[in-house]
Structure 1
Amino acid sequence: MRFYWLLLAFLSISSQAKFMIPGYELVYTTPVETTLTAPDLRGPTSVWCDLFDQAKQRIDIAQFYVSGKADEPLERVIAHLKAAGERGVKIRFLMDQHGLSISTPKTLEALKAIPNLTFNLIDYSHVGGGIIHAKYMVIDGQKAYVGSQNFDWRSLKHIHETGLLISDLAVVKQLQAIFDIDWHAQQLIAQGKPVLAVRHHVVLADESHSNYLVASPNNFDPPGVGDSQSELPRLLAKAKHYARIMVMTYAPLEFSRHHPRPYYHVIDDAIRAAAQRGVKIEMLVSNWNVGEPDIDYLKSLAVLPNIQIKIVTLPEAKSGFIPYARVMHSKTMDIDGNIAWVGTSNWEGGYMDNSRNLEVVMQNAKMAKRIGELHQQLWDSQYAKPLVLSEHYPHPHPGKP
């Protein structure tokens, strides 16, 4: 009988769909109540729970905000995190102070009540000038997760998201170093001390590695980690045939809640230069990207030869309107079926220069092809419509029906 149950457990584990290359597993949130499918990809709920179950000594998590809801997937995730704390695993949870206003108080209370968990808030504007926008976790220095999924029940069920489970030890070590830098920065800020830059010159990614991490802001990246803001244009400059881009919002403007947004040309220049060389650009953006002036910049791209832009609108849930959900939130790119990009940044100013964000580059045809297939599925779906130059798009209100 015992053998029978062991066999069932083994079959259950082995039957879980996984798409992997050495060191990396692609993870995908398929929005419920859509025709989108990815039977070969695991979702983040099972991946996160497995990571917490496997943890032996330490779990480090960094997020912009947290938001749970009763009887939804994040409750299961928190239960597994609690179980890890109860068996003695040390947990550090770092959240940006600016995320408090959009966090769920009950979720914050549940996290803070977990045994062996230390919860710290950081005002990252005192470090890079922006926010902690990266969404990642590191387990025992052996495995890590990076993706577009926030620590939010909606990200696990109602939002189009893409991430990576990472066992590449070189990259895991770098992610651990980034977390440690930001954790220490929080302690300095709490003591009223200045946070000094880790480095003072731009460090380019070492592209001799097949797969590698880039991050922002550059001045607070550890040794060996390349600068995100420099790497994205470098990769687009390599494109020969096409670049398939999926990102929630794109605008050559500086992201800021309280200040004017001056022109931010870095990514815009790279896209236009690639199109001018004859590279076919296919860009998917969400319907949260159609407000002015963002839509005007999108139209200025769409009018150019070799650039096509589609706007993704996911249908409202059958249960009714859900604030800040039902959106395409992935940040991916496939270049020529050879290079894959999976990250946490929207493609606007403030993300790859001032805020903490992470991007993983995989020079791997198998991964690039699968990222491209996810792009193509959404591109061909009923949810993606071509940007119409003559159309006046209503200002988006993601928090209101």
Structure 2
Amino acid sequence: MLFSRRLWVAVALALSGAAAQADFAIPGYELVHTVPVETTLATPDLRDPVTVWREMFDAARQRIDIAQFYVSGEPGEPLDAVMERLEAAAARGVKVRFLLEDKGLRLSVPATLARLRAIPGIEFRVLDFSKLSPSGIIHAKYFVVDGQAAFVGSQNFDWRALKHIHETGLRITEPRLVGQVQAVFDHDWQAQAQLAAGQPVAAPAPAPGAVPFDVMQPAFLVASPRAHNPPGVGDAEEVLPRLLAAARREVRVQLLDYAPLSYAPGRRPFYAVIDNAVRAAAARGVRVKLMVSHWNTEAPAIQHLKSLAMLPEVEVRVVTLPQAQQGFIPFARVIHTKAMVIDDEVAWVGTSNWAGGYLDKSRNLEVVLRNPAMAGRLAALHEQTWASTYAQPLDVNRQYPKPAKGEP
């Protein structure tokens, strides 16, 4: 399928340093991107998260609310610069609240946890999200500053996400969306306090006479799990299939992992919601370009990917980034962006992988924008990696080796 003129323009802006602006944004939303170092990928028109996060923390006057899966710093690496600005904000009287997933404690670097807890005046809480939603975790990565600006994206509070991993997020200043992100944080923050006090946690009450969620809005927030979404925030598990059902020409998707499987002790139950929607779109003649990380080639997920790739309208490419010059880095050198573009018109940027357990059980946030400019830029970002030497078509006849994640 040939690119639209709009998409070619976006590609040119993305790759031409002379034509690039300081950042790419539409009213209320700025696209923020981590380019893995030591690759040929480049996005000079997109600001990096270190720059954006520091700027946001420097602008804070009253409150910074942060929710994360885990935290991981390394001396001299990019997260240090972010932590310095967070510490400086607290030193001038900004109230900092930090909410961490309980299961993320064992994934976190003890020194980073200690540094966070040592920030004067910080309120640091740990929430076992599985007590709200069985088998669920806080997988979302987001923060809110003064109730006026928010950041939602694939970047964990991890030095590797700021340097060695392909990541994409959004800086949000549109008041309604910022308010909804704040409402999600406030619900989970209060839920942690109630659980700590041995009190039951009530799910937010739906609005009386609620009508189906309006997916035709120019911008909206969806989240998971449904039972713990504040009023006005859509259900990601319900909205994603509806958006795919409306696709007419092309769907571009970039993910760490795709699998119609969930998680349970000792087994991977079948989870068909997303896979059914993707296959239905392909059956209607919609061209699907799915790009996943090389981590996705593990069994049993690889068998499902191969089955999907057999469909005439579906192409699956696997992205393998080169090892860093310094040698193997555990849980790095991978694409981690979670994004979708539909018909060069709809952009989806979020925190969830497309597998069971993410959109139905765990806390995740996704921002949807009906904006051709943002959709075109996100499609160009997808195309840059899709057309690179790092992306190779999935070979349905190949026996893929087990990917190296935490050890070489």
Q: TM bucket by the smaller chain?
A: over 0.9
Contact 2:215–2:243, Cα closer than 8 Å, also in 1: no
Of 239, 249, 262, 1:241 maps to 249
1:223-273 deviations in Å (ceiling 9; x for gaps): 1111000111011111110000001000000135x3522110000000000
1:358-387 deviations in Å (ceiling 9; x for gaps): 000000000000000011000000100100
Of 275, 288, 294, 2:295 maps to 288
CA distance in 2, matches of 1:88, 1:169: 24
CA distance in 2, matches of 1:35, 1:298: 27
Larger mean CA deviation between 203-212 and 123-132 belongs to 203-212
Corresponding position: 1:166 with 2:168: no
Aligned to 2:383: 376
Aligned to 2:45: 40
Q: Secondary structure at the match of 2:222?
A: strand
CA distance in 2, matches of 1:136, 1:350: 19
Q: Secondary structure at the match of 1:183?
A: helix
CA distance in 2, matches of 1:52, 1:111: 15
Instruction: Give the unaligned 5+ runs of structure 2.
Output: 1-19
CA distance in 2, matches of 1:277, 1:92: 47
CA distance in 1, matches of 2:175, 2:282: 36
Q: Secondary structure at the match of 2:151?
A: strand
1:52-76 deviations in Å (ceiling 9; x for gaps): 0000000000000000000000011
Instruction: Give the unaligned 5+ runs of structure 1.
Output: 1-14
Aligned to 2:63: 58
Q: Secondary structure at the match of 1:281?
A: strand
CA distance in 1, matches of 2:211, 2:138: 20
TM-score normalized by the length of structure 2: 0.93
Identity in percent: 56
Q: CA deviation at 1:194?
A: 1.9
Q: Which amino acid in the other structure matches residue 386 of structure 2?
A: W
Q: CA deviation at 1:209?
A: 2.1
Q: CA deviation at 1:193?
A: 1.8
Corresponding position: 1:95 with 2:119: no
Aligned to 1:228: 236
Q: Secondary structure at the match of 1:91?
A: strand
Corresponding position: 1:133 with 2:139: yes
Corresponding position: 1:195 with 2:201: yes
Q: Which amino acid in the other structure matches residue 21 of structure 1?
A: I
1:157-213 deviations in Å (ceiling 9; x for gaps): 000000000001000000111000000110111112222222479975322420110
Kindly report the root-mean-square deviation, in angstroms, between the aligned alpha carbons of the 2 structures: 1.3
CA distance in 2, matches of 1:222, 1:272: 31
Corresponding position: 1:273 with 2:280: yes
Contact 1:148–1:331, Cα closer than 8 Å, also in 2: yes
CA distance 1:259–1:179, change in 2 (3 Å): farther
TM-score normalized by the length of structure 1: 0.94
Q: Secondary structure at the match of 1:320?
A: coil
**Equivalent residues, number:** 386
Moved over 3 A (4+): 199-205
Q: Which amino acid in the other structure matches residue 138 of structure 1?
A: V
CA distance in 1, matches of 2:324, 2:87: 30
Of 306, 320, 324, 2:313 maps to 306
1:110-161 deviations in Å (ceiling 9; x for gaps): 0111112111000000012200000000000000000000000000000000
Aligned to 1:106: 111
CA distance in 2, matches of 1:109, 1:204: 45
Give the 5 Å matches for 1:118-129. 118-129=123-134
CA distance in 2, matches of 1:119, 1:370: 37
